[in-house]
Structure 1
Amino acid sequence: MKYRKIVLAGGNGYLGRVFANYYKHLAEEVIILSRKEKKDTDTIKTIVWDGCNEGEWVKSLDGADLLVNLCGKNVNSRYTKENQAEIISSRIIPTTLLGNVIGKLQDPPKLWINITSATIYRHAEDRAQDEETGEIGYGFSIDVCRKWENSFFDTNTPLTRKIALRMGIVLGRSDGAFPRLLNLVKFGMGGKQGDGQQYVSWVHEQDAARCTEWLIQHEELQGVINCTAPEAVKNTDLMTEIRKAWGIPFGLPAPAWLLEIGAAMIGTETELILKSRWVYPKRLLDTGYSFLFTKSAHAIKDILSIRL
């Protein structure tokens, strides 16, 4: 099926590039809304916006099959008051703006997907958290997710179906979490982090993109949907799999106290490493979505096989 138009708001980051490359042969036009100008290609066009105000970019939403909102400051930072305010505003302001604009369009996007985070669920080592029985956690990162999703669902867009896609950790070769984990392995520091028993809910970048097309096609789906592989993996097992795939038998572990020091030095929070995210994609599976990668070991081997 050939789509008319795919719009990616804030699509200049890693995941935006994954989506743009996925759709560039499936759509007549892929449009990225970005704060920076970028050279257009045959099928990918960049339109400048500031994420705060209406402008010429509004016309790009007319008749779109899909709008994906990827806006938001990277949470990989220290949670100072200044950073906290920027993390929240960089999500809520563009989301509210898009909602207000879409609500006024005669021919708005058929589907609007807001990429939110699977970290909204509580620390879970006892059972998987799905969309129906999952329990919301507490703390700053969860507060961000709550406010973000509220701003998304509170906008009135009667002609546009809306999905908050709670994304797990996206695994790919070019950017994101995987290259950083691989670097730890390469330098002999690829052991478990903390006690290693925390779950990592992950998704291969190709499944992250492919499931958005599934959501276009399944018009009965709306609301909250988890986007994670069905089989979460413990941190200690994930690091073992990466070491094995790279051919390094041993990696120094990093106890929690050492992570606290390291996190402060590099400007991040240990929560991003030590929280157990055990999330299950019940709604995707219930509608028949078949993941390309269900086992992290297979995803890792695939990623390492890619020549960049």
Structure 2
Amino acid sequence: MDILITGGTGFIGRELLKLLSTHRITLVTRQPSRAKQTLAHADMGNIHYISSLDEFSDFNQFDAVINLAGEPIADKRWTAAQKSKICQSRWQLTEQLVERFHASTEAPSVFISGSAVGYYGDQQQHPFDESLQVNNSQFPHQVCARWEEIALRARSEQTRVCLLRTGIVLDPSGGALQKMLLPYKMGIGGPIGSGKQYMPWIHRQDMVKAIEFLLNTPHAQGAFNLCAPHPVTNREFSHQLAKALKRPHFLFTPKWAIRLLMGESSVLLFDSARAKPKKLTELEFTFTYSRLKPALHNLFAHTE
């Protein structure tokens, strides 16, 4: 396949490119020379680096487009300026991609575009799947809802659209897990708030395997929950993480402290999302790590 990818140098993109080494990849990146260094582990001579979508007026030459770009949502406090950056980094780029789908006489057969389980907001203890309809005013939902709405405009008789409602992607080299590790390694890790909130998680290997699966499954379309079949509470996650790291687990972080530290973005830690990947499992996608304990054991097997 000829595949265009945005966000390929990110936490998920770097791993995904390892799986796509037999395909011809065009990677959109602001810094091509730096991207070549970052992706030296994955570039089998199959990656062409471009600095701007302006090189293309249409996507006739591509079989697929994978859109993973976006300002990290949890890296900084949600000031008005940061919220705008989070939104525009997703919405504007996706609009540019969709415009080129519409300009194509032979559009790519699939558009895979990012989203997040933040779409659902706080669902407390109730399990749910992709059929859940949500409309709320919280920032994560507003970001994802519009992002998805823009991406879905690429749908046509030629093109199917898959939306990746991603949970917490687990790998110690980046993402949320990397940020969690320090207090645990210091022996002061523990649940956040009540610890009763559900955390939809997925091993990074399963995340990229699922993207490849959707790429190669012609009848897959619509929103997919990219999270393991067995979400756990924050308390259970914390307990299993401490155990995997061979560290104590007796402290907790009070809700007020997190709110003071993170401001409005603390909803990312306190909202409960007991999300189930119903559509993936119905398509018979097989998770390598469907439960948390073996997933963490794999990630920290060599931890002293």
- The residue aligned with 2:51 is 49
Instruction: Give the drift of 1:65.
Output: 3.8
Other-structure match for 2:277: 281
Which of 291, 295, 301 pairs up with 2:297? 301
Matching of residues 1-308 of structure 1 within 5 Å: 4-24=1-21, 27-38=22-33, 39=36, 41-50=43-52, 54-57=53-56, 61-76=59-74, 77-133=76-132, 135-155=134-154, 157-263=156-262, 269-305=265-301
Q: In the superposition, relative to structure 1, how do residues 304 and 134 fare at CA in structure 2: closer, same or farther (>3 Å)?
A: farther
Aligned residues: 295
Whole-Å separation in 1 of the counterparts to 2:229 and 2:91: 29
Distance (Å, rounded) in 2 between the aligned partners of 1:190 and 1:82: 32
Aligned AA (1:150): E
CA contact (8 A) 2:121 2:140 kept: no
Q: Percent identity?
A: 26
**Structure 2: 5+ residue stretches without partners:** none
Q: 2-side partners of 1:108 and 1:153: how far apart?
A: 14
Contact kept? 1:193, 1:254, Cα under 8 Å: yes
Once the two structures are TM-superposed, the CA of residue 133 in structure 1 deviates from its matched residue by 3.3
TM-score (norm 2): 0.90
Contact 1:170 1:202 in 2 (8 A): yes
Counterpart CA distance in 2 for 1:18 and 1:184 is: 26
Q: Which amino acid aligns with 2:4?
A: V
CA–CA distance in structure 2, aligned partners of residues 12 and 100 of structure 1? 23
What displacement does 1:137 show? 4.2
Q: 1:261 & 1:36 partners in 2: Cα distance?
A: 35
Give CA-to-partner distance per residue, 1:113-148, whole Å, 9 cap, x none. 001111111312231121113544431111111111
Q: Which amino acid aligns with 1:37?
A: P
The superposition leaves residues 154-204 of structure 1 with CA deviations (integer Å, 9 ceiling, x where unpaired) of 346442211111111111121111122222200222100011001000111
In structure 1, distance between residues paired with 2:254 and 2:300: 27
Q: Secondary structure at the match of 2:23?
A: strand
Which 5+ residue runs of structure 1 have no aligned equivalent? none
Give the aligned residue type for 2:183. L
Q: Distance in 2 between matches of 1:250 and 1:58?
A: 55
User: TM-score, length-normalised on structure 1?
Assistant: 0.88
Task: Report Cα offsets for 1:85-118 as digits up to 9, x if no partner.
Answer: 1111111111011011122223432211001111
State the secondary structure of the residue aligned to 1:272: helix
**Superposition CA RMSD, Å:** 2.1
Per-residue Cα deviation, 1:222-280 (whole angstroms, up to 9, x for no partner): 1111111011010011011011011112352101011122325xxx7211211112111
- 8 A Cα contact 2:242 2:248, kept in partner: yes
Q: 1:65 to 1:184 in 2, by over 3 A?
A: farther
CA distance in 1, matches of 2:121, 2:79: 22
Q: CA 1:67/1:305 → structure 2, altered by over 3 Å: closer, same or farther? A: farther
Which letter maps to 1:217?
N
